Amino acid sequence: MRGADVLIALAGIALAMPTVAAAQTRSFSIPAGSLSEAIARFGEQSGLTIGLADARLGSRRTAGIHGRFSARAALGLLLTGTGATFEFINPRTVRIIDAPPPRARRTASPRRIAPPEPRPVDTGEIVVTASKQGIPLDRYAGSVDVVDLDPDRNARSASRGTSAIVARLPMLASTSLGPGRDKLFIRGVADSSFNGPTQATVGQYLGDVRLTYNAPDPDLNLYDMERVEVLAGPQGTLYGTGALGGIIRLVPNMPDPSRGAGSASVGLGTTRKGGTSSDTAAMLNIPIVDDRLAIRAVGYRVIDAGYIDDPLRGRSNINRSISYGGRLDIRYAPGNDWTFDVGGVVQNIASRDGQYTLRGQPDLTRNTLLAQPFDNDYRLAKFRIAKRWNDMELVSSTAIVRHDVETRYDATTAFTGAPARLFDETIGISLISHETRVSGRRRGTDDWVAGVSVVHDIEQQRRRLGDPLAPVTITGVRNEVTEAALFGQYTIPITPRLGATLGGRVTYSTAVGQALDTVLPENMEPKRTAVRTSPSLALSWRPANRLLVFVHYQEAARAGGLAVGPTTSPQSVQRFESDTLNMIEGGFRFGRPGRDRFAASATLSYSRWSDIQADLVDETGLPFTVNIGNGRIIGLDTNIAWMPIEALQFELSAFFNRSNLKDPAPAYVAADERDLPNVAESGGRAAITYRVTLTASASLVLDGSLRYVGTSQLGIGPPIDVSQGKYLESSVGGRLEIGRIGLSLDVSNLGDVRGNRFAFGNPFGLVARNQITPLRPRSIRIGLDAKF
């Protein structure tokens, strides 16, 4: 071969290499989020070096991709709807650039022709990452809600924490004791309205790590979160104990080693008949080594105005609360599809007093002898390793949590002239959790995951009661639980449109209970061991494109423990047993919310709950824990989303629940057939959103919503069978974005409705049955946010 021919051949090979590299198919799993985060993951999964021609492109949103594609096809799908395109610089390097504007066609007539109505763009699949297999929503056989926290929503509502998610999902319920004090319930799986040593019915996660075990909702600030995934339960197979009702998974934006970025938000608000609120937050993303190492820091501070007065003590706006904290993440991506993440969370919440009032007293007032402050201090450290091979992924994550909760109540008796009494409860929780799992796709079609999980939790509860200056120590408890589990789940297509999922979890647990400040009864076993299994089975059928019909069976359980007994019991401490929930559901999903013109879903579920654990309050106002019997829950949840035009979207969602106590324990026979607590029989939300582009650099979002919460009961029998709920709440707002600056205005509780969110605020006055937790009066917030 002549030298010229060799040069021509080599040149041809060099020119073809981008095409060859781009043509090789790989498995991609990139969730929705910012373009900067998405292309970083694309680079890891494709093996290509990829960068942004303009750093501002990184703030645009992509819907993500999932499946097997060539690199070129995957990148094209990833950039769909972002206004960006790509070009190969060399065989292994790709640059993201702004897509050129479409050329205007010349017309023979000088008159203007109206452009055709824009149609929604197919922006790709919605991936349920909480499935631990990266299953697309249109193939996931179960109930799930994916709440995207786009920059517009994040700037306006991140400071509200969990309450911002509760307001959007009717099937998600919460008690209303106050920030950092609440219990969460999904789809009617509610054990009681009071906090105690029982494990939560809802598992809460930050990315891949567990946030809590047997503590109230830490109520983390949502600033710089990418999305929230809510999986209805039980979720025992994949998540183990404490997932009877389901799981809530917060997905934060992770460090981006390809570019520096930052954002900030500030808001100022006022509450009718109350004080002034404020919120500030900032994020900074700093690449340390290009495309390899980066750090991302988030900090925030929020003041929620009080709106309740105490004339007896001469105090106003007594329920003011303040929270502050931050998150820090460091990501190292050395190459070869390895990722190492180290991070932490710190958050403190302090409330000056409870947010309840008393029926019969003037509006938004309450007379008490003592302040009832609350403090919630949360610390988390986490470490994660991930590695990808074509169709497989390894994820190993570890978290250490320290959670301290302190509550004070005015325990003064109702008799005139009675001396003041204080009840002080301090709970300290130490949690270590670890999970290592491998997931993949066999032959490009069969999804599977297998892993091992270990949890070690220690909770210590100390209590004091008596003179406010020198309260006396009373009985407390210490519970230590260790769990080790093996789990796996396999999804196989029986036919191209019919799939089956089979999974299971085997858990070995030990529980050790110890009485504090008293002697443990001789006949009480201090330590117990147990082996539990949590199977799951699902079938999914796709009779037509974008239509999924499914049926799903699953189980979950909670560990037992030691708790303080009621004052009427001969024993100061007593054991409560583990409980189990079995659920079967069936439903359908059509379309993809926010992406298709029309999307709808409906799910009917039936649950059987055995040996329900419940934290209750005795006649003197002191808390205790017991198994109350068996229960059943029937639920129906529906969702509809409609976009008549691309700029306008309507949403309608509703939840219907029928639950009761069946086969009660002997001490609770009088509560037979009573409703389970704190979950409304019905609830719904209607919302409208309008988005319009004003100029090349300006856009406007306007939205409004109506939320109805039906009637529920505080508890299952006297004196806690008190009605609550049955109110309608409305809100309106909007945000104007000009370049990198956003201006927003929001009004909540537009009708200034009082209602009764929660018929509980102080256990020592509960026997009077006159406690009310009103909605926050009409509040206005003005916000300013910026990206840089």
Average pLDDT over residues 328-332: 97
The yes-or-no verdict on residue 581 having pLDDT over 60 is: yes
Tokens of 379: 């610390």
- Taken in order of first residue, the domains within the chain and their CATH numbers are 14-98 (3.55.50.30), 127-239 (2.170.130.10), 246-270+279-318+339-787 (2.40.170.20)
User: For residue 104, what pLDDT is reported?
Assistant: 45
The number of C-alpha atoms within 13 Å of 493 and in the hemisphere containing its C-beta is 12
Label residue 55 by pLDDT band (50, 70, 90). Answer: low
Q: Please state, in angstroms and rounded to a whole number, the distance separating the CA atoms of residues 554 and 534.
A: 7
Average pLDDT over residues 212-216: 90
- Phi-psi region for residue 364, left (φ > 0), alpha (ψ -120 to 50) or beta? left
Average pLDDT over residues 469-496: 92
The yes-or-no verdict on residue 267 having pLDDT over 80 is: yes
695 to 85, 692, 701, 784: CA distances (angstroms): 21, 9, 13, 20
Q: What is the DSSP string of 449-514?
A: EEEEEEEEEEEEEEEEEE-TTSPEEEEEEEEEEEEEEEEEEEEEEEETTEEEEEEEEEEEEEEEEE
Phi, psi of 109 (to 5 degrees): -95, 140
The yes-or-no verdict on residue 82 having pLDDT over 80 is: yes
Q: Please state, in angstroms and rounded to a whole number, the distance separating the CA atoms of residues 296 and 222.
A: 15
User: For residue 619, what pLDDT is reported?
Assistant: 79
Predicted TM-score (pTM) of this structure? 0.84
The yes-or-no verdict on residue 206 having pLDDT over 90 is: yes
Q: Please state, in angstroms and rounded to a whole number, the distance separating the CA atoms of residues 492 and 488.
A: 13
Closest CA to 46 of 98, 99, 93: 93
Share of the chain above pLDDT 90, in %: 61
Which carries the bigger pLDDT value, residue 519 or residue 427?
427
User: For residue 26, what pLDDT is reported?
Assistant: 67
Give the chain's mean pLDDT: 87
Tokens of 772: 């009310």
Q: What is the pLDDT of residues 290-321, one digit of tens each?
A: 889 999 999 999 999 999 999 999 999 999 99
Cis bond leading into 719, ω under 30°?
Answer: yes
Q: Please state, in angstroms and rounded to a whole number, the distance separating the CA atoms of residues 499 and 120.
A: 29
Which carries the bigger pLDDT value, residue 96 or residue 726?
726
User: For residue 122, what pLDDT is reported?
Assistant: 36
Q: What is the pLDDT of residues 238-260, one digit of tens each?
A: 999 889 999 999 999 999 998 89
The yes-or-no verdict on residue 21 having pLDDT over 50 is: no
Share of the chain above pLDDT 70, in %: 89
Question: Beta-carbon neighbour count of residue 485 at 10 Å?
Answer: 23
Tokens of 717: 């029998």
Label residue 107 by pLDDT band (50, 70, 90). Answer: very low
Average pLDDT over residues 720-744: 94
704: three-class secondary structure by DSSP: strand
User: For residue 121, what pLDDT is reported?
Assistant: 35
Q: What sections of 101-235 are H helices per DSSP?
A: 151-157, 162-166
Which carries the bigger pLDDT value, residue 343 or residue 576?
343
Q: Please state, in angstroms and rounded to a whole number, the distance separating the CA atoms of residues 546 and 76.
A: 21
Average pLDDT over residues 310-337: 96
Q: What is the pLDDT of residues 368-405, one digit of tens each?
A: 999 999 999 999 999 999 999 888 899 999 999 999 99
The yes-or-no verdict on residue 91 having pLDDT over 60 is: no
Label residue 518 by pLDDT band (50, 70, 90). Answer: low
13: three-class secondary structure by DSSP: helix
The yes-or-no verdict on residue 118 having pLDDT over 60 is: no
Closest CA to 520 of 580, 575, 600: 575
